[in-house]
Amino acid sequence: MFEAAARRQITREEKKHKIAKRETDGETIRAAATATALKRTADIKLRFVLLGDEEARGYSITLAPTVVSNRAIVGNDSLVPQGAVLPPYSLVGAFSLPLPALASGKSCFGLPPLLMSAQKATTDVDVSLLYSPSLWLRTCRVIVEALRVWFLPPLVCLGIGTSTQLLMEAYPLFVADDGNLPTFLNQKAELVGTEELQVMRNFVALLTISPLYYVDCMVVPGLMLLLLLKWTIVGRYSPVLLPMYCVGVWSTEFIT
């Protein structure tokens, strides 16, 4: 009888151990999934919010309604898990998790999340500049975002292409079939007299001069252009409170 009771006790202990292990594994899976999701958002250059990510616990996946109320703000690269409810006028900081019980008008940030201190209420800003912009404001923002995205890549491609072409003109490595050197804008230049093309000498010159040439012709002008745009468009940074839809915010985003 004592042996049977001991076996039952051992069986109960094993069941408790299995249940505890299952819950621990579920917590580990959940933490790993959260870390993986946040890392995935950080690795991708485009900024977005991971909303309603599934919860894995106890070898099961839980799906629950996720609510983002009107005028609730979710920062870039943040993660809103399953079942979270963001009340109106609440804010979740960038790369953060929301608090389990976030009250209306409160803000949190971080991982794990922390409640931000009380912020001074602002009542002198037009609501249309915060939550309900006009068609004209939305159009202006689309134009600014388009310029911000498309301004730099064509400029870099143009600089690299032009600089490379000028270098290849100064130190050519090949001659066309007609015996002429390919030059800028598809024009042709004949070899002077019977001088042969010094391929190895030009190759060594390209390896030596190219880094300095690209720094002088691309890096330095690019930095000067950036400084010029920064001081022309933004000026000196100072503590200021700006609504989302205004030239001050757009100009800062354009420069960054």
Residues 112 and 131 in one domain: no
Domain-embedded: residue 25: no
Residue 188 identity: K
pLDDT of residue 119: 67
- Long-range CB pairs of 128-132, under 8 A, 24+ apart, other chains included: 128/245, 129/243, 129/244, 129/245, 129/246, 130/243, 130/244, 130/245, 131/70, 131/71
The answer to whether 231 and 202 are in contact (CB under 8 A) is no
Report the predicted TM-score, pTM, of the whole model to 2 decimal places.
Answer: 0.55
Q: How confident is the model at residue 50 (pLDDT cuts 50, 70, 90)?
A: confident
**Average of pLDDT values for 70-96?**
86
Alpha helices in the chain (DSSP H): 2-43, 135-150, 152-170, 199-214, 220-229, 247-255
Helices (H), 89-198: 135-150, 152-170
Q: Measuring CA to CA, which residue among 82, 124, 86, 125 is closest to residue 104? A: 86
Tell me the average pLDDT across 40-67: 67
Co-location of 87 and 135 in the same domain: no
Do 62 and 155 reside in the same domain of the chain? no
Structure tokens at 96: 């953060």
CA atoms within 13 A on the CB side of 166: 12
Q: How many domains does the chain have?
A: 2
Is 91 within the bounds of a domain?
A: yes
Q: What is the mean pLDDT of residues 197-226?
A: 82
Same domain, 152 and 217: yes
Determine the structural domain holding residue 113 and report its residue range: 41-117
